[in-house]
Amino acid sequence: MRALRRAGAALGALTASMRVRLTLWYLAILALVFLVFNVVLIGDLRQSDAAAQRAMLAKIAGEVASVYNPADGLLDVATLTPPKSSLKVTPAAGAAAYFLPDQAVALFMHAQGGAAQAVGPLGPAGVAAVQAYLIASASASGGATSAHIADTYGETSLPIASAVGATKTLDYVLYSTEVISQGQVVGTLTVGLPNAINQTTQTVLPALLLAGAVTLLVAALGGYWLASRTLRPVRLITRAAQQISETDLSARLHLKQRDELGELAATFDHMLARLEAAFQRQRQFTADASHELRTPLTIISVEVAHALAQRRTPEQYEEALGVIQAENLAMSRLVADLLTLARADASPLRLRLEPLDLSDVALEAVERLAPLARARGVTLVVEALPEVRLLGDRAALTQALVNLVENGVKYTAGVGSRVSVTTCYESTREGGAWAVARVTDDGPGIASEHLPHLFDRFYRVDAARTASDGHGLGLAIAQWTAQAHGGMVEAQAAPGGGTTFALRLPALAEVNDAADALTWRL
């Protein structure tokens, strides 16, 4: 029992290999094709042999029946010469001493019944077997006697006498026909040949089986080699996957094949590259978030320790509490922004889409930031605000525009004095339309080396600015919101100073008016 379990386990381990399974499937299909081919081939050979055999029997029966002698009521087979027929003359006891080649036989029976003449190696047992066959055939056809059999074929086993007196049983094909003399049926002639169909099957089948076994063996070896060679890239992919760890995603396959496996390897490399970039962004995001949170916490800790070091005046306590409150508000906003981005990264955000006027959204953003602009000495200017229709989430788009306007106010303060907001339609290359909101300031501008990184998280052009000026997440959130709506945010710096941010969103004609909620994912 234990040996059987071990054998089963070994067989299971063997068939677990894809190479073995592919080889076995290949062999199974090849064996099925070979089997169908052999069946068709043997069937065709049997049909060909049967047709040829019947034609030969009909010809022999006609030649033998043509030598009927009315004088003695027998077949004068001695008059048949080898050029006219394949009959050969040989002595045999008890009958006209003739037999057909290849152990062929003939039996002539009078119309009144009874065997009149036997030709070939038919002994008494053979004659009796032929008579029994004729009686059975006559009964099957509704006739009373064997004389009613005419032009029919059949198969039976006959005891054949050999030259040394021994008897063996062989399969024969028999053909019966009427013998007619002077317009009357005088008897029935039955001729027979050894069943060449079975002989062909017995001769061809072993050769086919041997050829099939050799073919399957060669196919098994070749199939296993081909499967191993074909699956070699899969082994490379497996080894590369085993070398990958959660801290190192730098392994690549670099498989130079222009086939399905090469495409799979290239896809695997691209996936690893994306995962590596995502992990790097995640690590950078975590480090930046920790750094941004550590600064206000440190300030709060220092203020609390300083206030508790000794007794202070009420004014000093109020000042310390004001600093703590400001840092707490900065942390609250940072945590809220981090939560927004974390939700965007973790799962699709379901936007509440509705028909909107982008000008109304821009005006709402300006009104919310008017106190901040006045405190910073910056004038918010609302220029042309025509009706610009789109399908979007009002809260998300308002927050995106607030972030863009707030960014302009903060970086303009102390250098420039004006931030303007305008909306319009713009055509696309595909013949559609964008709904565009532009925020333009007259601040110091942005150097060209900073433009590619403006929308990176925690990226700030002026690293000397404090947490009260932002954490470098506002533009990232604005870009994410635009992409979630199928749009984008673009930044352009003027040569003499000043920056323009353009929020581009699909106009209402470019979206499905019937949709009331869609799911977007960065």
Report d(CA 119, CA 77) in Å as an integer: 9
DSSP 146: G
SS3 for 267? helix
Report d(CA 502, CA 508) in Å as an integer: 18
Sheet holding 115-119, edge to edge: 115-119, 105-110, 184-194, 167-181, 152-161
At residue 109, the pLDDT reads 85
SS3 for 494? coil
Instruction: State the DSSP string of 337-361.
Output: HHHHHHHHHHS-EEE--EEEEHHHH
β pairing state of 418-427 and 379-382: parallel
Q: Residues of CATH 1.10.287.130 domain(s) within the chain?
A: 260-343
CA 512, chain centre distance (Å): 34
From the options 2.40.128.110, 2.102.10.10, 1.10.287.130, 1.25.40.10, give the CATH code of 260-343.
1.10.287.130
H or E segment at 480? helix 474-484
SS3 for 439? strand
Q: Residues of CATH 3.30.565.10 domain(s) within the chain?
A: 351-520
Please, what is the angle between helix 232-243 and helix 196-230, to 10°? 30
CA atoms within 13 Å, Cβ hemisphere of 30: 18
Side chain identity, residue 326: A
Tell me the CATH class for 351-520: alpha beta
CA 519, chain centre distance (Å): 29
The count of other CB atoms within 10 Å of the CB of residue 497 is 15
At residue 76, the pLDDT reads 80
Strands (E), 142-296: 152-161, 167-181, 184-194
Sorted by sequence, the CB contacts under 8 Å of residue 107 that are 6+ apart come out as: 115, 117, 118, 119, 122, 127, 130, 131, 189, 190
At residue 147, the pLDDT reads 47
In the block, residue with structure tokens 């506002």: 474
Q: Residues of CATH 3.30.450 domain(s) within the chain?
A: 70-197
Report d(CA 349, CA 143) in Å as an integer: 92
The tens place of each residue's pLDDT in the chain, 522 residues long, gives 566 556 555 555 545 577 777 788 888 888 888 888 888 888 887 788 778 878 888 888 888 888 888 888 888 877 765 444 444 433 332 233 334 444 678 888 887 777 888 887 777 888 888 888 888 877 776 654 444 566 777 888 888 776 566 778 888 888 888 888 888 888 888 888 888 777 667 777 788 888 888 888 888 888 888 877 777 777 777 777 777 766 667 777 777 777 777 777 788 788 888 887 777 767 766 666 666 667 677 777 877 887 788 888 888 878 888 878 777 776 777 676 666 666 666 555 567 889 999 999 999 988 888 888 888 888 888 888 899 999 998 888 988 898 888 888 888 877 888 899 999 998 877 778 899 999 998 888 777 777 666 777 666 555 444 444 555 677 887 888 888 888 988 888 877 678 889 999 998 864 444 333 333 332
Reduced DSSP (H G I as helix, E B as strand, rest coil) percent helix, strand, coil of the chain, to 5: 55, 20, 25
Q: Which two tokens stand for residue 89?
A: 């003359």
Nearest to 47 by CA among 209, 201, 202, 211: 201
Helix ranges, 347-473 (H): 358-376, 394-412
Residue 473 has φ and ψ, to the nearest 5°, of -110, -15
Sorted by sequence, the CB contacts under 8 Å of residue 87 that are 6+ apart come out as: 60, 63, 64, 77, 80, 98, 99, 100, 101
SS3 for 515? coil
Report d(CA 186, CA 188) in Å as an integer: 7
Helices (H) then strands (E): counts for the chain: 10, 18
CATH architecture of 70-197: 2-Layer Sandwich (3.30)
What is the longest distance spanned by two Cα atoms in the chain? 162
At residue 428, the pLDDT reads 78
Rg (CA), the chain: 51
Q: Which two tokens stand for residue 376?
A: 């910073």
Alpha-carbon distance values, 368 to 325, 402, 509 (Å): 21, 8, 29
CA 216, chain centre distance (Å): 28
Neighbouring-strand partners of residue 178:
188
